[in-house]
Amino acid sequence: MSLSEIPIDAFKNEIMALLDEMAAHTDDPEDPGVTRLLYGVSWLSAQAALAERMEEAGLAVRYDNVGNLYGRLPGKRDGEAAVLTGSHVDSVRHGGKFDGAYGIAAGIAALGFFAPDVRQAFAAARGRLLLRGRGEPVSDRLLGLRQCGRHLRLAARRRI
């Protein structure tokens, strides 16, 4: 698909629908902001909803041992280079609906819209939703990213 063939309105609508869906997963539905604290009830429900959306987009879904959610779109030559996209599911207290969620929504929408072309052009594409704590309830602000980095380093060592 060339850039001129991208269905911009459909793409935008898909992103906005997913942002609205994620914003519904908040600790306080009466609050105009979004509060989705790491490992909290709203975070868990958002993770489950995102896993379902990723499966609908044709991604193979898995979690790592700290809760990062991964969606993999198999390519023609699985096991080779991959495209990574994603963001964090948690939010600050009373954050906006774009806090972390936009990177997730755009990544899932892109993988869903361009899946046939991605399968042809790349070995594989991955959507990666990184968890991260902002002081509550986990003090390690980069826990999810650190776990992701371990996976990447281990994969690099295996190729050597």
* CB contact set of 16 (below 8 Å; sequence gap of 6+): 105
What total number of domains does the chain contain? 1
User: For the segment 95-111, what is each residue's pLDDT rounded down to a tens digit?
Assistant: 889 988 898 888 888 87
**Sequence-distant (≥ 6) Cβ neighbours of residue 74 within 8 angstroms:** 60, 119, 124
Task: Give me the helices (H) in 57-142, please.
Answer: 101-121
Sign of CA dihedral 61, 41, 139, 21: positive
List the domain range (segments joined by +) for residue 131: 3-159
Q: What does the alpha-carbon distance between residue 152 and residue 45 come to, in Å, rounded to a whole number?
A: 27
CA distance linking residue 92 with residue 150, whole number of Å:
25
pLDDT digit string, tens, across residues 13-67: 989 999 999 999 999 889 889 999 989 999 999 999 999 988 887 778 889 888 8
What CATH number is associated with residue 19?
3.40.630.10
